[in-house]
């Protein structure tokens, strides 16, 4: 029988929300597969855009789990790295003629340059698990929003299990990559993708710092 009072539930929920952080350094130890399944189950419980995907015969959400050192991950890494090179080149070209993009895109351009220089995609092969979540494209096209809900549920569950979690947002760019989609066993162009890395954190981060909520609220009459 569940004896949790509302206060207790909120205490735990608030604690998990505050402790959720982006972990980017992991120990080599593999978390148990049962913990990964529990995280993916939390992802399944996330909301989805029923009107957009409700009619698809096949279930509209899929999880692809790749372990560090596996054949699949070894094959995926160069595909993602090649995509990063293409993205960097495209952004570089577009920034030449677009002043606004030059200002806005500089941080991302530097990030891509750093990844190219190091030859490592953060979160892909740097953690025990790299997990790709796929959401079938529908209309209206809200699959990325749906994936964000799924990711947040997974992130909170990983936090509650004492695991580190890192979003790997470059995964989204792989949804149009034929070789990558073939590796997953899905047709290219029909699914939107998002990814994350999961493992035991190398060191614990302190809870998030955010502005006091009063500073960012405007109550409208």
Ligand X SMILES: Cc1cc2nc3c(=O)[nH]c(=O)nc-3n(C[C@H](O)[C@H](O)[C@H](O)COP(=O)(O)O)c2cc1C
46: contact with ligand X by CB under 6 A: no
Pick from 122, 126, 149, 188 the residue near ligand X by CB under 6 A: 122
76: contact with ligand X by CB under 6 A: no
| Strand partners of residue 63 | 133
22: contact with ligand X by CB under 6 A: yes
Q: Which is nearer to ligand X, 70 or 172 (CB)?
A: 172
Residue written as tokens 């698809």?
56
The secondary structure element, H or E, covering residue 1 is none
208: contact with ligand X by CB under 6 A: yes
DSSP 117: H
| Cβ-proximal residues to 75 (8 Å cutoff; 6+ apart), any chain | 183
How many Cβ atoms are within 10 Å of 107's Cβ, its own excluded? Answer: 9
With b for 16 or more beta-carbon neighbours within 10 A and e for fewer, the 38-51 pattern comes to bbbebbeebebbee
Q: Which is nearer to ligand X, 68 or 166 (CB)?
A: 166
Q: How far is the CB of 79 from ligand X (least distance, A)?
A: 16
Q: Which is nearer to ligand X, 25 or 188 (CB)?
A: 25
110: contact with ligand X by CB under 6 A: no
Question: Which part of the chain contacts ligand X (CB under 6 A), choosing from 33-41, 53-61, 79-87, 162-170?
Answer: 162-170
The helix/strand/coil state of 155 is helix
Q: What is the largest CA-CA distance in the chain?
A: 64
Give residues in contact with ligand X (CB under 6 A): 21-22, 24, 122, 166-170, 208
């Amino acid at each position: 029988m569940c004896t949790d009072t509302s206060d207790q539930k909120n205490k735990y929920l608030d604690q998990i929300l505050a402790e959720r952080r982006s972990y980017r350094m992991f120990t080599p130890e593999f978390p148990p597969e049962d913990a990964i399944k529990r995280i993916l189950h939390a992802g399944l419980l996330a909301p989805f855009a029923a009107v957009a995907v409700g009619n698809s015969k096949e279930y509209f959400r899929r999880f692809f789990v790749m372990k560090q050192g596996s054949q699949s991950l070894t094959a995926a890494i160069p595909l993602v790295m090649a995509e990063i090179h293409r993205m960097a080149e495209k952004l570089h070209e577009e920034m030449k003629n677009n002043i606004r993009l030059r200002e806005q895109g500089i941080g991302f351009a530097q990030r891509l340059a750093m990844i190219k220089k190091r030859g490592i995609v953060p979160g892909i092969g740097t953690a025990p698990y790299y997990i790709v979540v796929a959401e079938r494209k529908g209309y209206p096209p809200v699959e990325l929003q749906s994936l964000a809900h799924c990711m947040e549920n997974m992130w909170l569950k990983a936090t509650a299990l004492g695991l580190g979690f890192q979003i790997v947002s470059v995964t989204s760019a792989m949804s149009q990559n034929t070789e990558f989609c073939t590796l997953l066993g899905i047709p290219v162009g029909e699914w939107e993708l998002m990814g994350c890395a999961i493992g035991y954190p190398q060191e614990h981060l302190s809870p998030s710092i955010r502005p006091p909520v009063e500073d960012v609220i405007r109550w409208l009459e």
